[in-house]
Amino acid sequence: MNVSQIVSNALRTVTRNKLRSILMMVGVTVGVGALTVVTAIGKSAVTEVMDNVQSTFSANNILITAGGGSRHGAARGEGPTTTLTIADLEALEARVPNIDLTGPGLRVGSKMVTYKGTNREVSITGYSEKAEQLTRQLSRGAYFTREDVRGSARVALIGQDAARELFGGADPMGEQVRVGPVPFTIVGVLERGGMGVHGINTDNVIYVPISTAQRRLMNVEHISSAKIRLRDAGKMAATERAIEATLRERHQLSGDAESDFSMITPVSVQEMVESNNRTFTLFLPLISAIAIFVGALIIASLMLVSVNERRPEIGLRKAVGARSKDIQLQFLIESTVITVIAAVLGLALGAGVSQVILNMQDKPPVLPWAAMGLGLLVSVSVGTLAGVIPARRAAALNPIDTLR
């Protein structure tokens, strides 16, 4: 038999046994589809986070957070969280020449916000008027002013998701919401921020003057964080050391004592994002790979069943001149064709599902071509290998025994 006849016979067999072929395809289709979906969503999320980091955390920024446990790197949340104050920032501006601007922040946390009977849980943060230059811009309205901060004014800036949840399609400008018992007038709408570094939705937020957050919402004097803009990003390391020395001196920390604050730089943020991305790209595709290998086991099992059922056919073909390698090649082609079809269906299904999910989340469409190609290659390779044992068994059958 020539190769074209073998291929033709293999294709006829695949289409003739539709139910068996579909059962063989399920595992590979699900595995490749899942790989495409998780990779597309993961790539979109990482892209969004990195864009958000670059837009809000530029190369000349340092973020100081209350609570230490380490002198450098990302905050570990250990140690006192009430020792960082606005006075500390004033001291830094006076002592560290490379500091251009400082902006305090106080995270109030998630609070129930009410508007005309509509209640939504929203993340509340207090900022100074400097946040306009350091944190987020507005899509409309006006930032609160220095006078608002000094007078603990009850004004607020709202994120776009929070505005949609509370106001629907109505204009929030000038409307009054209540954070607990405290009323706030909306004076601005923040530009869209997307997903934050820690997976937090930065659009479900309300910003209020930091003095208002301290006195009216929390009754505290400390702050939880501070964003610092440097004049010269090239002096980042030296400025970090100067900030650390100044704060440790002001907080009366001895040489062996752990810092009660942490500093986050663009380098540490990028390392954090890349670490999370490595975890994502390692473990989630493993789940998909398991599905692909399960699909391969199903293919191998059903192909072995097929060999037993088709013993008379195999014996007859051998009796009329088919060689063992022809039989073996046909079974290999059958398993490969089934796997290729399953992989292509999985790619199409995964691409479609991922785009629907991304559209529902108002994110740009992403197609991870490298992952899709790898999924196709792996699945076809695994599917072909799954057909090796059944193909060898079919080729080894004695035609006399099969025709009895």
Structural domain boundaries in the chain: 3-52+271-402, 101-227
**Overall average pLDDT of the 181-195 stretch:** 89
pLDDT of residue 120: 94
pLDDT of residue 56: 59
**Overall average pLDDT of the 175-184 stretch:** 95
pLDDT of residue 222: 95
**Overall average pLDDT of the 188-211 stretch:** 83
Integer Rg of the chain from CA: 31
Written as six digits, the tokens of 26 are 């399920």
CA distance 260 to 264: 14
User: Which residues partner with 114 through β-bridges?
Assistant: 119, 178
pLDDT of residue 82: 85
254 burial level (CB within 10 Å; 0-12, 13-18, 19+): exposed
- CB atoms inside a 10 Å sphere around CB 301: 14
**Overall average pLDDT of the 366-381 stretch:** 74
**Residue 201 DSSP label:** B
Give me the helices (H) in 131-235, please. 131-134, 146-150, 160-167, 210-212
pLDDT band at 73 (very low <50, low <70, confident <90, very high): very low
Amino acid in position 107: R
Residue 112 has pLDDT above 50, yes or no: yes
Picking from 108, 125, 138, 105, the residue whose alpha carbon sits closest to that of residue 207 is 125
pLDDT of residue 13: 66
Q: H or E segment at 379?
A: helix 369-386
pLDDT band at 75 (very low <50, low <70, confident <90, very high): very low
Query: Is-contact 234 241, C-beta < 8 A?
Result: no
CA distance 277 to 280: 5
* Better-predicted residue by pLDDT, 148 or 350: 148
* Better-predicted residue by pLDDT, 334 or 109: 109
